[in-house]
Amino acid sequence: MRLLASLCFAAVLAAAPPAITDLQPRGAQKGRPFELTIVGQNLGEGATVVSSLPATFTPLGSTKPGMESRYATFLVEPTGEWAVGIYPLRVKGQNGLSNVLLFNVGSFPELTEEESRPGAAAHQNDSLEKAQTLPSTPLTLNGTLAGPERDVYRLQVKAGERRVFEVDARRAGSAVDPVIRVYDAAGKQISRSEDDPLLRLDARLDMTFPKEGFYYVEIHDARFSAQAQNFYRFKTGAYAYAADIFPLGGRRGEAIEVTLSNVTVKADLSSVKTPQTFVNLPDSPSLPLPFAVGDFPEQREPVTAPLQLPVTINGRLAKPAEIDKYTLNVQPGEEYLFELQARELGTSKLTGLITVFDEAGKKLASAGDGPLPVDVGAVQASSRTLGDPFLQFKVPDGVTKITVSVEDLALRGGTHYAYRLHASRSGADFQAQITSPFVNIPAGGTALVTVNINRRGYTGPLRIEPLSLPPGVTVAGGDIPHEIPDPNNRANSRRGILTLTAAPDAKFAAGDIGFRVISTDPQTPKIERVATGLGYSIGIAGATAQGVVDRQRPLVGQWLGYQLPAALTDPAPANLTLTLEKATKKPAGYEYLFRWRWTTRDRMQSVPEAVTVDLPNFIDFRAIEMEVDKKDRTTGTFLVTSTRNTLPALYNIGVMGRLMSGGQAQEIYSPLLPLQVAELDPEEKPNDANSTPAR
């Protein structure tokens, strides 16, 4: 009986945080109550919904007896006006926060694809002969695509009838890259859409039918890929939507006039705190378009006078091969930063090229014309691999005036080639991003947080600090060493790590933790940047390596303006600690002996005989001779060695071990330790140190 009680107690302690994998449905008609079923793990009793959707979420209990931890159903009722758009949704349980999935609010009555209903047979509508018939009235249909599948729908239209077909997928948090095809009654394809200019990778068709009859709409994934988030929302009706937008953004705190398909609307940025908001045509059922929010004074082209910095120029390459040019009075030795916002906003097709010339027309520098991961033909289509360029520029001797030009790499132009050019006085700089969408900190345990640093000329040491911490939580780590300057002045990416450790009696409500990154080189002016958060990260199956032709990057939600949502979760089944036992000077560097130790909450809990060592930015990193203690299996040692290439600096080291508890794997982290690598004797310093650290 005592053993059974011990095992039950351990299972309670080891309860994992909630996770959500699906929402049923993925959207709803605005203003109408509906039932929402959240599918996932560890949902359990007491789970509540956290969302920006103005609604109450009343638990209805599980409709699947015995599956209460996998399904949670809520009655959703409006508490305010629902605008058409995308809303984040997550679950907060008694044991922490879940990930975010996105919920779509539309204007039209909602339908569900027959084969997507629970328990329905597959392949019910994968051909013209088996097409699912839809009503002729405006509607939004919720469907799914299971890998190499085609969904076909049958519609009756009148002669001269205009109808819009639109698919919400990537914009709504789906990994599907949709294609729309329309066929006539004889099965002949009469129209096709993929990657509409303003819809990221989503698709839209606007058609007027010449004659009455039945037509077929086919929807499939462009790569016929199998995805975990494989839903789509298919809208059809005769409605207005924004086919172009200018400008692409505005200054925070101001009211901006925005032109959407020759209609002028106001974007009120007076209280916007996020890096992006959304604008739409009045009463349009189409999803609103992203609108960037900046902090510099703004101008619109044409700009004939020399630029006064800092400034953001809103321009558009209105015709093919157009080049926009701006002048700037400078002095030798001054440093400037020019950045484009276009393609990454999702509202421009521009593959940007920035070039700087002197007064004589001599090219001094450029960005955006480096080696391409795809050929120019692919660029002229829709490359998924390229971002927007930036250019750091130092004025050479003898130059007092420069011209900055903006053009499209493939010499294209038109209404969909707008841009935002940010220009500022800036030398060494960096950017910081929190790479975890959220964190659950075990009571009495430790969680790891990673911050990615993109260096833009600054090569000195950095320190990551929390802006605020919940009560009972302490932080360790956050040190990023200096590095050898890159002669090509490339933007190196470096990883910084911190650990958050909660006291056993810690109690705090879920909330955001912010981080700032500070330069600590006493020889350069202080630089301080607040790290941005991901909001969410939704994986897309497929090629992920940098440079491949069809690179698929995760969907992220920086537009939400979140930093790092954090919550307290149940104690882990064990804790892990790390200590430095000895540092020894060797002819080629240093040797550090570390010991890890497990402390379990239940003596029956098994622990692994090895741990994973994390020591980022450490050149020539090696962890060797990992051995578990033969007399005490809860502890062991390993060695870390440095070489002549290892830069003398302050580093952070930690270990992680995986445990099985309650049938689930858990990653347990130790609090980070500082590791100071001392300077080598002068005669032992390297002359050609390799500047590629472990990340």
Segment 21-77, tens digit of pLDDT:
999 999 999 999 999 999 999 897 788 999 999 999 999 976 666 677 899 999 999
What local confidence, expressed as pLDDT, does residue 374 receive?
41
Distance CA 240, CA 256 (A): 22
Distance CA 71, CA 81 (A): 28
The strand pair at 27-29 and 249-251 is best described as unpaired
What local confidence, expressed as pLDDT, does residue 689 receive?
45
**DSSP code string of 181-200:** EEE-TTS-EEEEEES-TTST
The helix (H) or strand (E) run that includes residue 96 is strand 96-97
Per-residue exposure over 422-440, b if at least 16 CB sit within 10 Å of its own CB, e if not: bbeebbbbbbbbbbbbbbb
The predicted model gives 433-453 an average pLDDT of 96
In this predicted structure, the answer to whether residue 688 has a pLDDT above a threshold of 50 is no
Question: Percent of the chain scored above 70 by pLDDT?
Answer: 90
Please write the tens of the pLDDT for every residue from 392-409: 999 999 999 999 999 999
Q: Picking from 13-27, 62-76, 317-331, which range would have the lowest pLDDT averaged per residue?
A: 62-76
The helix (H) or strand (E) run that includes residue 87 is strand 85-93
For residue 119, what pLDDT band results from cuts at 50, 70 and 90? confident
Integer CA distances (angstroms), 683 to 91, 487, 592, 634, 686, in order? 59, 25, 22, 42, 8
Q: Which residues contact 341 (CB under 8 A, 6 or more apart)?
A: 248, 249, 292, 388, 419, 420, 422
What local confidence, expressed as pLDDT, does residue 553 receive?
84
- Where on the phi/psi map is residue 414: left (φ > 0), alpha (ψ -120 to 50), or beta? left
What local confidence, expressed as pLDDT, does residue 69 receive?
86
Q: Picking from 216-230, 264-278, 596-610, which range would have the lowest pLDDT averaged per residue?
A: 596-610
Distance CA 212, CA 191 (A): 17
Return the higher-pLDDT residue of 421 and 46.
Answer: 421
CATH number of 110-237: 2.60.120.380
What are the percentages of helix, strand and coil residues in the chain, rounded to 5? 5, 45, 50
What local confidence, expressed as pLDDT, does residue 384 receive?
41
Please write the tens of the pLDDT for every residue from 104-117: 999 999 999 999 99
For residue 687, what pLDDT band results from cuts at 50, 70 and 90? very low
Q: Picking from 126-140, 163-177, 376-390, 412-426, which range would have the lowest pLDDT averaged per residue?
A: 376-390
In this predicted structure, the answer to whether residue 633 has a pLDDT above a threshold of 50 is yes
What local confidence, expressed as pLDDT, does residue 457 receive?
84
What local confidence, expressed as pLDDT, does residue 550 receive?
60
The helix (H) or strand (E) run that includes residue 437 is none
The predicted model gives 571-600 an average pLDDT of 95
Please write the tens of the pLDDT for every residue from 211-237: 999 999 999 999 999 999 999 999 999
Highest mean pLDDT among 384-388, 585-589, 670-674: 670-674
**DSSP code string of 532-593:** BP-S-EE---S--STT-TT--PPEE-GGG---EEEEEEPPPSEEEEEEEEEEEEETTEEEEE
What local confidence, expressed as pLDDT, does residue 44 receive?
79
**DSSP code string of 259-274:** EETTEEEEEE-TT--S
The helix (H) or strand (E) run that includes residue 353 is strand 352-358
- Topology of domain 301-425 in CATH is Jelly Rolls (2.60.120)
Radius of gyration of the chain (CA): 28
- Topology of domain 12-106 in CATH is Immunoglobulin-like (2.60.40)
For 410-461, list the strands marked E by DSSP: 418-425, 429-434, 439-442, 446-456
Q: And the tokens for 250? A: 């505005």
Distance CA 49, CA 23 (A): 12
Contact criterion met (CB below 8 Å) for 177 and 169: yes
Residue 615 burial by Cβ neighbours in a 10 Å radius (0-12, 13-18, 19+): buried
**Among 638, 653, 635, residue whose Cα is nearest residue 599:** 635
Helix (H, G, I), strand (E, B) or coil at 65: coil
Q: Measured in whole angstroms, how far is the alpha carbon of residue 468 from the centre of its chain?
A: 23
* In the chain, where the domains are located: 12-106, 110-237, 301-425, 430-567, 574-684
Please write the tens of the pLDDT for every residue from 450-486: 999 999 888 999 999 999 999 999 999 999 999 886 6
Per-residue exposure over 645-667, b if at least 16 CB sit within 10 Å of its own CB, e if not: bbbebebbbbbbbebebeeeebe
Please write the tens of the pLDDT for every residue from 496-554: 999 999 999 999 888 999 999 999 999 888 999 999 999 999 999 886 655 555 667 89
Beta bridge partners of 263: 260
What local confidence, expressed as pLDDT, does residue 5 receive?
39
Q: And the tokens for 166? A: 């639109």
Q: And the tokens for 492? A: 């190196």
Distance CA 467, CA 448 (A): 17
For residue 381, what pLDDT band results from cuts at 50, 70 and 90? very low
Where would I find the H helices in 340-403?
376-380
Contact criterion met (CB below 8 Å) for 2 and 78: no
Domains 12-106 and 110-237 agree in fold: no
What local confidence, expressed as pLDDT, does residue 373 receive?
42
Distance CA 336, CA 436 (A): 31
**Mean of per-residue pLDDT scores for the chain:** 90
Distance CA 545, CA 552 (A): 8
In this predicted structure, the answer to whether residue 10 has a pLDDT above a threshold of 60 is no
For 560, list phi and psi in degrees, rounded to 5.
-70, -25
Q: And the tokens for 37? A: 């079923």
The strand pair at 650-661 and 664-669 is best described as antiparallel
The helix (H) or strand (E) run that includes residue 10 is helix 2-13
> pTM score, two decimals?
0.90
What local confidence, expressed as pLDDT, does residue 3 receive?
35
What CATH class is the domain 574-684? mainly beta
Where would I find the H helices in 510-549?
none
CATH number of 430-567: 2.60.40
Question: Percent of the chain scored above 90 by pLDDT?
Answer: 79
The strand pair at 27-29 and 101-106 is best described as parallel
Residue 118 burial by Cβ neighbours in a 10 Å radius (0-12, 13-18, 19+): exposed
**Among 432, 589, 430, residue whose Cα is nearest residue 521:** 430
| DSSP 8-state secondary structure symbol assigned to residue 116 | G
What local confidence, expressed as pLDDT, does residue 2 receive?
38
Contact criterion met (CB below 8 Å) for 558 and 532: yes
Q: And the tokens for 648? A: 């003398």
What local confidence, expressed as pLDDT, does residue 102 receive?
98
Q: Measured in whole angstroms, how far is the alpha carbon of residue 244 from the centre of its chain?
A: 25
What local confidence, expressed as pLDDT, does residue 375 receive?
38
What local confidence, expressed as pLDDT, does residue 308 receive?
96
For tokens 């929190």, name the residue.
434
- Where on the phi/psi map is residue 79: left (φ > 0), alpha (ψ -120 to 50), or beta? alpha
What local confidence, expressed as pLDDT, does residue 379 receive?
40
For residue 426, what pLDDT band results from cuts at 50, 70 and 90? confident
Distance CA 20, CA 65 (A): 19
